């Protein structure tokens, strides 16, 4: 793997990079389960600078750093509790935090903000979500989850459901699809939340076959992975519009009966109403295992950036 400087977009990674990270994540899982203290990142400091809410992403990054013997400085509500409220620019905050920390994990509501941060950063920036832009570390852990659960990635059919327009998770994940062979994509969303023209153009350009639906009926029997997304409330201008669309698709045990026995349901979480809790006990419900994989992938990435 070429030494990575910043992690801004999934388009930076090739298949060999991913395979290497997956193998390292397997080793990180062993290390985690052994409960042995590690000194791999001793003396290193990670700053988690989050201007948008997060549970899994921030806490798994912090846990990853601590597990590897590093330390963490964190501001989980940077929009209110950092100097941003006094009017400090992203660039100035990044310049300063780069003097304290060896890596900055950054989440911000504005598309392109992570790239802006990287322009002035003297330490690696990890994009932990730039608005409706990208969420590359989520996409890496998603591919890792697919590999772990289904033992292959080539040739699979992925059904993506929900908010295809605003989901940064989906936007990042589709960029990986072209690295693998014969993956088919099916999207199901309300008409108001179909994919952007830019994403559609990207899939055409890479010759990735895909179909767009406004209901689930057409493709459930074929999918190997049903990737469900939350309708992204925070991206809506109208609350009423969000309320109208938020439960357009709800995955229930009844829906799972129409899926293959050997298939999985994924979700980056948090879920609101889009997967009913009764689905959780189905062995195909992979979303909690997926969240756990986030820890191993983030341990692997931090090692890659800092050692």
Catalytic residue among 57, 75, 137, 194: 57
Q: Give the relative orientation of helices 113-120 and 90-100 as an angle to the nearest 10 degrees.
A: 50
Kind and range of the H or E run holding 84? none
Quote the least distance from Cβ 60 to ligand NCD, whole Å: 9
Nearer to ligand NCD, 54 or 157 (CB): 54
- For the question of residue 57 being annotated catalytic, the response is yes
CA 52, CA 133: separation in Å to the nearest integer?
A: 13
Nearer to ligand NCD, 21 or 291 (CB): 291
Q: Dihedral, CA atoms, 246, 252, 257, 258, nearest 10 degrees?
A: -10
Please say whether the dihedral angle defined by the alpha carbons of residues 187, 193, 194 and 200, taken in this order, is positive or negative: negative
Smallest CA-to-CA distance from 159 within 183, 178, 180 is with 183
Nearer to ligand NCD, 228 or 255 (CB): 228
Quote the least distance from Cβ 171 to ligand NCD, whole Å: 10
Residue pair 69/40 in contact by the 8 Å Cβ criterion: yes
User: Per DSSP, what are the bridge partners of residue 157?
Assistant: 184
Please say whether the dihedral angle defined by the alpha carbons of residues 289, 133, 251 and 261, taken in this order, is positive or negative: negative
- For the question of residue 171 being annotated catalytic, the response is no
CA 200, CA 177: separation in Å to the nearest integer?
A: 13
Using CB atoms, what's the residue nearest to ligand NCD? 230
- For the question of residue 24 being annotated catalytic, the response is no
Nearer to ligand NCD, 112 or 218 (CB): 112
- Sequence-distant (6+) residues with CB within 8 A of 96 are none
Quote the least distance from Cβ 193 to ligand NCD, whole Å: 13
- Sequence-distant (6+) residues with CB within 8 A of 14 are 179
Quote the least distance from Cβ 205 to ligand NCD, whole Å: 24
- For the question of residue 107 being annotated catalytic, the response is yes
Residue pair 300/28 in contact by the 8 Å Cβ criterion: yes
CA 248, CA 83: separation in Å to the nearest integer?
A: 39
Catalytic residue among 24, 108, 135, 267: 135
Helices vs strands, H then E, count in the chain? 11, 9
Quote the least distance from Cβ 200 to ligand NCD, whole Å: 20
Q: For binding to ligand NCD (CB under 6 A), which residues are involved?
A: 56-57, 129, 135, 138, 168-169, 230, 268-269
Catalytic residue among 24, 32, 56, 108: 56
Quote the least distance from Cβ 252 to ligand NCD, whole Å: 20
Catalytic residue among 2, 39, 86, 191: 86
Nearer to ligand NCD, 21 or 44 (CB): 21
Residue pair 210/250 in contact by the 8 Å Cβ criterion: no
Query: Catalytic residues, which ones?
Result: 56-57, 86, 107, 135
């Amino acid at each position: 793997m070429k030494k990575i400087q910043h992690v801004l977009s999934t388009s930076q990674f090739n298949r060999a990079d991913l395979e290497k990270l997956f193998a390292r994540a397997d080793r990180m899982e062993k290390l985690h389960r052994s409960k042995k203290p590690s000194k791999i990142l001793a003396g290193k400091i990670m700053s988690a600078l989050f201007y948008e809410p997060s549970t899994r992403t921030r806490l798994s990054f912090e846990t990853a750093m601590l597990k590897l013997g590093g330390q963490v400085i964190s501001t989980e509500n940077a929009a209110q509790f950092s100097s941003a409220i006094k009017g400090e620019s992203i660039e100035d905050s990044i310049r300063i935090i780069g003097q304290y920390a060896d890596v900055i994990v950054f989440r911000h509501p504005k598309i392109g903000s992570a790239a802006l941060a990287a322009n002035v950063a003297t330490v690696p920036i990890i994009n932990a979500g730039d608005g409706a832009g990208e969420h590359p570390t989520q996409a890496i852990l998603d591919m890792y989850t697919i590999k772990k659960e289904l033992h292959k990635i080539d040739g699979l059919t992925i059904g993506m459901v929900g908010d295809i327009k605003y989901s940064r998770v989906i936007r990042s994940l589709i960029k990986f699809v072209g690295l693998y062979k014969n993956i088919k994509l099916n999207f199901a969303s309300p008409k108001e939340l179909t994919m952007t023209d830019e994403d559609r153009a990207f899939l055409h350009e890479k010759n990735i076959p895909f179909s767009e639906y406004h209901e689930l009926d057409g493709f459930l029997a074929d999918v190997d992975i049903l990737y469900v997304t939350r309708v992204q409330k925070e991206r809506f201008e109208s609350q009423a519009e969000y309320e109208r669309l938020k439960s357009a698709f709800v995955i229930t045990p009844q829906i799972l009966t129409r899926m293959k026995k050997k298939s999985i349901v994924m979700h980056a979480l948090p879920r609101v109403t889009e997967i009913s809790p009764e689905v959780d006990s189905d062995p195909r419900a992979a979303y909690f295992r997926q969240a756990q994989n986030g820890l191993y992938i983030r341990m692997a990435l931090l090692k890659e950036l800092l050692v």
